[in-house]
């Protein structure tokens, strides 16, 4: 089976360096919030071009910490999308706020700024755009509306490590931004991990306090925080992988260009890239009204294509009927019926990609 993503292949690609980094952590005997975390925070902040980075336990917790750092809680509203991993909406509810949903741009699958202003109420405190599949959301109009209404913008960068918008890395635009280091991400750990980044020293300090019980000094809580700490093992692995992120993203771009060329005449809707933005190709997402048939056809031929995401958040059992804005999201619901992610990771070989291409073309020829 050709996997849709393959974190083991990335470990093997950098095995010698990762094993050495892990051994170093084990031998030093400091396993939580130590030197590896501090160095990774500094290196990741420098990579993004921001001043501060705060390592936390997961991407979901990064969003929760960022929202709480802004003082967002019960009675507040945060505008976001339903075409995303459920973590985006779950994090908003974890801090006690209410997610308010708007529809996506059909060509890019990210928050449609045209719907933003009408979703704002006196309770709105923030906008949480998601840079989905590796493509930046259209931030300029989002930021303009946020400034007009004095709202925080918190970027969800869980799928966009290394992507850029107008020449700047995503994660450097909002009041804060949040990253996930889940193993399948462009920059993936060997377990869970996340990061909150910002250029605001006060927000960075609040995030640091919140991630560890509100401690300014050990065992003394100055804020009501909780436990969300990045461990030394994951930081050590991520420091190794960060050195290869741009090269890995370049490999993803080459794979995407190959897909673009060889699938251009299939009738599938292929990924579009926003003008003056770079796509990190966390996922290579095509769409077809016959998506389920295509996925089954590929599976029968050993190709592991996946759906990101088959059920929009507002239609999932835990959320159905109770999220503001969830009654009119036609583009979100259409995307959920039609999108399919083809195998995409830097170690995917030319021969493996050719198998994928031939299988997709065979389906499209049969379906025409």
Per residue in 281-314, pLDDT (tens digit) is: 999 999 999 999 999 999 999 999 999 999 999 9
Pair (64, 137) in one structural domain: yes
Per residue in 174-193, pLDDT (tens digit) is: 999 999 999 999 999 999 99
| Residues in contact with 288: Cβ distance below 8 Å, sequence separation at least 6, in sequence order | 267, 268, 269, 294, 338, 340
Pair (252, 157) in one structural domain: no
CB 333 within 8 A of CB 235: no
Pair (94, 220) in one structural domain: yes
Domain finish residue from 242, 260, 295: 242
Could you tell me the residue range of the domain that residue 255 belongs to? 245-367
Indicate if the pLDDT at residue 367 is higher than 80: no
Pair (77, 101) in one structural domain: yes
Pair (181, 213) in one structural domain: yes
Pair (206, 307) in one structural domain: no
Pair (139, 197) in one structural domain: yes
Per residue in 219-235, pLDDT (tens digit) is: 998 999 999 999 999 99
Indicate if the pLDDT at residue 339 is higher than 80: yes
Domain holding 250: CATH number? 3.90.1150.10
According to the model, what pLDDT value does residue 368 have?
65
Q: To which residue do tokens 């461990």 refer?
A: 231
Q: Is 294 part of a structural domain of the chain? A: yes
According to the model, what pLDDT value does residue 366 have?
86
Indicate the number of domains in the chain.
2
Pair (81, 198) in one structural domain: yes
Q: Is 356 part of a structural domain of the chain? A: yes
Closest C-alpha among 211, 186, 195, 123 to residue 155:
195
Domain finish residue from 227, 242, 257: 242
Q: Which helix (H) or strand (E) holds 339?
A: strand 339-342
Instruction: Name the token pair of 70.
Output: 């802004």
According to the model, what pLDDT value does residue 217 have?
87
Per residue in 158-173, pLDDT (tens digit) is: 999 999 999 999 999 9
Q: Is 183 part of a structural domain of the chain? A: yes
Domain finish residue from 242, 273, 299: 242
Domain holding 57: CATH number? 3.40.640.10
Q: Is 1 part of a structural domain of the chain? A: no
């Amino acid at each position: 089976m050709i996997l849709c993503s393959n974190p083991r292949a990335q470990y093997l690609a950098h095995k010698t360096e990762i094993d050495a980094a892990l051994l170093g952590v084990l031998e030093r005997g400091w396993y939580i919030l130590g030197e590896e975390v501090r160095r990774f925070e500094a290196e990741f902040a420098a990579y993004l071009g921001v001043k501060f980075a705060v390592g936390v336990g997961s991407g979901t917790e990064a969003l929760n910490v960022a929202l709480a750092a802004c003082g967002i809680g019960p009675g507040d509203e945060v505008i976001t999308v339903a075409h995303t991993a459920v973590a985006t909406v779950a994090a908003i509810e974890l801090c006690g706020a209410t997610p308010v949903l708007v529809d996506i741009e059909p060509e890019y699958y990210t928050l449609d700024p045209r719907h933003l202003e009408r979703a704002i109420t006196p309770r709105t405190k923030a906008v949480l755009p998601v840079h989905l599949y590796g493509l930046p959301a259209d931030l300029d109009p989002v930021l303009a509306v946020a400034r007009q209404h004095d709202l925080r913008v918190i970027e969800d960068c869980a799928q966009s490590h290394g992507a850029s918008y107008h020449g700047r890395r995503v994660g450097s635009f909002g009041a804060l931004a949040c990253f996930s280091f889940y193993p399948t991400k462009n920059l993936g750990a060997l377990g869970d991990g996340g990061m909150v980044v910002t250029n605001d020293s006060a927000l960075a300090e609040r995030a640091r306090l919140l991630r560890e019980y509100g401690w300014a000094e050990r065992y003394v809580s100055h804020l009501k925080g909780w436990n969300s700490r990045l461990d030394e093992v994951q930081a050590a692995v991520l420091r190794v992988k960060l050195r290869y992120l741009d090269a890995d993203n370049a490999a993803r771009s080459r794979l995407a260009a190959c897909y673009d060329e060889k699938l251009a005449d299939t009738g599938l809707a292929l990924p579009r890239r926003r003008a003056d933005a770079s796509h990190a190709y966390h996922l290579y997402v095509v769409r077809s009204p016959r998506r389920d048939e295509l996925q089954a056809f590929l599976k029968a031929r050993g190709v592991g294509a996946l759906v990101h995401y088959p059920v929009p958040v507002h239609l999932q059992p835990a959320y159905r009927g109770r999220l503001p804005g969830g009654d009119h999201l036609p583009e979100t619901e259409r995307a959920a019926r039609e999108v399919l992610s083809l195998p995409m990771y830097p170690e995917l070989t030319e021969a493996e990609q050719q198998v994928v291409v031939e299988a997709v073309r065979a389906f499209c020829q049969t379906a025409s």
